[in-house]
Amino acid sequence: MTGPPPLTGIRVLEFAGLAPGPFAGLLLADNGASVLRIDRAVPDLTHSTNSSDLPPPTNDLLTRHKSSIAVDLKSPSGVDFIKSLLPHTDVVIDPFRPGILEKLGLGPDVLLGINPRIILGRMTGFRRDGRYKDMAGHDINYIAVSGALALLGRKGEKPIAPGNILGDFAGGGAVLFQGILLALMAREKSGRGQVVEANMVDGASYLATFPRMMLKTLMWDQPRGENVLDTGCPWYDTYETKDGKYMSVGALEPQFFAELLKGLGLSGIGIEKSRNDRETWPELKATFERIFKGKTRSEWEKVFDKTDACCTPVLEYGELETDHDREGDQRPAVTLRETPSLAVSEGSSSRDPSIGQGPGIEGGSYCGTALYAGEGGEETLNSWLGWKRGKDFEVENGGLVKKVGSKL
């Protein structure tokens, strides 16, 4: 029998933002935390009693298991309402540029002064103390100055940005999530909260620890695109197939390389002995390209499935979404056997909880669900604290404020 997700009972206030901050909140929510997003108030629209007048959803699709309240943070009464929540909150996520939270009157000293156990998770792009700290930027800029972007790309070509995966999500939101977890663990010992600062420059650079160290070794000491792991090597690359799809090859070890050659029909002609001679790489890569284009991806799968050739299809999310036999059903990133996370893919609540507890979410993590400002937030306040509109709080210009005379 399994227990509830590990972060059950943790209460999180997430100031609305995009990408890294919401992703950290999503990771907390997927693991059982109750995450309440704080959105901008829209007069006569947010928290309206007229259900036909709903505010438009925000661009944030990282909303599963979350709810929202709308608050006017430019109003003293709105800031007071946030302050009334702080004694009952474990984590606050700050996605703003440096100094914004302080200007709102909700800086670290204020938050920790109200609740010494609170953990403030702060997410920025550039370092708070670096030369770029006052500049605007996006994922591509952060990974550019981290050094990681310079590693990515083929020989003779410009660096290639990997979407916004490396900065916003891996080096940003996921790293902030890690910091928040560490702070929660430290609080168990000290009884005190603290400020957790994460930035995408350091996060991306930390993720590049191995290749950065390899730059001073024979494995990665050549220009971009000419090394073993950056598409310079014939047996660590992708190859187009007859039908315009691709196979991936990662046959690094000799025994795996031998299996690859066997599948390609190249065994026994001396390639195994000369493979470490870089002078042979261009010709060998051209040979691989020609052979892979001779069959469709499906045909190559039949050749290499259940072998140790380290040769697998490059699958696209469009096909994974409709083919769970290819492991397309999305799952939590890790499995906790005793206290598994919440399910991502839709399915029966009675299924093996090791792939996630509960029925999953609409869209199965292929279609994001937008959250409009104020959606579900009043129910969350009631669940957390028993607060109700009219008794404990009311709506002023579309935002929640303390009711006059209440003891919040």
- The span from the CA of 92 to the CA of 28, in Å, is 11
C-beta pairs of 248-255 under 8 Å, 24+ apart in sequence: 248/311, 248/312, 248/313, 248/314, 249/288, 249/309, 249/310, 249/311, 250/310, 250/311, 251/309, 251/310, 251/311, 252/228, 252/310, 255/308
Residue 30 is encoded by which pair of tokens? 């997927």
Q: Do residues 377 and 383 touch, judged by C-beta distance below 8 A?
A: no
Burial degree of 63 (CB within 10 A; 0-12, 13-18, 19+): buried
Residue 320, C-beta contacts closer than 8 angstroms, at least 6 positions apart: 326, 327, 328
Structure tokens at 354: 């090791």
Whole-number Å distance between alpha carbons of 281 and 225:
12
Question: What is the sign of the dihedral through the CA atoms of 11, 16, 21 and 26?
Answer: positive
Token pair in block for residue 140? 């591509």
**Residue positions annotated with a catalytic role:** 168
Token duo for residue 153:
């790309």
Collect contacts of 358-363 with beta carbons under 8 A, ≥24 apart.
Answer: 361/64, 361/65
How many CA atoms, within 13 angstroms, populate the side-chain half-sphere of residue 335?
Answer: 8
Q: What is the distance between the alpha carbons of residues 368 and 71, in angstroms, rounded to a whole number?
A: 24
Q: Which of 306, 304, 355 is nearest to 328 (CA)?
A: 355
CA 121 – CA 95 distance, rounded (Å): 8
Say which amino acid occupies 304: F
Q: Is the dihedral of CA 372, 81, 11, 25 positive or negative?
A: positive
